[in-house]
Amino acid sequence: MRASASAALLSAALCALVLTGCRPDPDSARSGGSRADGQGDLVGQVLFMATGAFDVQSTQKARVPGGLRRAVWEDRVPLDARRVVIQYDSDARPMTWMLEITQPGFTARDVAGADARAVRTAQGEGLRPGPASRLRDTLVLTRTDGLKILTRSYATQVEPELLGAFQPPR
């Protein structure tokens, strides 16, 4: 009986250790720190938010007209920002999402990368990350109070007036 109780306790401890080790660390993103597993980089944190890794920490979740969903972070924001809103297509989340980041502690250039090219859109100035970026199929727009990052697929579905920014330079 004692051996099975010890085995169960050891198994539970190992499971907790594994699960804790796999969970993204929001404090790493906030501090801008770099971690050996690559989760501390800004682009990685944006992608983790876009794919839903931090949804459990969101302040609110809702359905939005057009088959979209929205999650909002106002407390425990996983990025260095005051507030983050993600809107996404739940059927194609990795490809179809938009982040609105209020009062970020980073710039559009920080997210888009040094090789990003400037574009002009119906919603203002933006940056297109370079072909080597993990965010290469996104558009980063500067707002008065923050940033808006969206995928080409999201623009196609929700904001087609922005599709011109995704065209190759002439």
Q: CA-to-CA distance for 148 and 108, rounded, in angstroms?
A: 9
User: What are the structure tokens assigned to 88, written together?
Assistant: 């996404």
Q: pLDDT tens digits for 84-141?
A: 999 999 899 999 999 999 999 999 999 999 999 999 999 999 999 999 999 999 999 9
Q: What pLDDT is attached to residue 65?
A: 87
Q: What pLDDT is attached to residue 66?
A: 84
pTM across the whole model: 0.76
More confidently predicted of 71 and 25: 71
Helix (H, G, I), strand (E, B) or coil at 124: strand
Give the domain ranges of the chain: 2-166
Q: Is the pLDDT of residue 26 over 50?
A: no
Q: Is the pLDDT of residue 6 over 90?
A: no
